[in-house]
Amino acid sequence: MVCDIKPIRTEADYETALETIESLMDAKAGTPEGDALDVLATLVEVYEAKHHPIDPPDPIEAIKFRMEQAGFKQADLVPSSARKAVSRKCSPESAR
């Protein structure tokens, strides 16, 4: 089953390409179906970059999100040696 590949110009073309890609997902590399999958995936990638761009995340929000995923707290970003230095500097004995 080799499909008729054509440029993706409209949203309808895009949806059709996605459906075709889904039907070709099990195609073996080097076969006509595998080649069709490669070409369609490239066409979809170009269309999405132009018509459905994804803005990069805010760097701070990305770090916060990743920390939350990993279960980290802000204090986990400070090396333990720096925490010890801060705690010594802020300890009641240092105020004397």
Average pLDDT, the chain: 87
* 1 lies in some domain: no
Query: Quick one: angle between helices 32-51 and 11-24, nearest 10?
Result: 140
Same-domain pairing of 68 and 46:
no
Same-domain pairing of 24 and 44:
yes
* 3 lies in some domain: no
How many domains does the chain contain in total?
Answer: 2
Distance, in Å, from the CA atom of 55 to the CA atom of 60, rounded to the nearest integer, reads 14
Which domain does 36 fall in, by range? 11-51
Same-domain pairing of 46 and 67:
no
Per-residue pLDDT tens digits of the chain, which is 96 residues long: 567 899 999 999 999 999 999 999 999 999 999 999 999 999 999 999 999 999 999 999 999 999 999 999 888 877 766 656 555 566 565 555
- CB-based contacts of 25, cutoff 8 Å, min separation 6: 37
* 47 lies in some domain: yes
Distance, in Å, from the CA atom of 73 to the CA atom of 54, rounded to the nearest integer, reads 28
Q: What is the pLDDT of residues 8-25, one digit of tens each?
A: 999 999 999 999 999 999
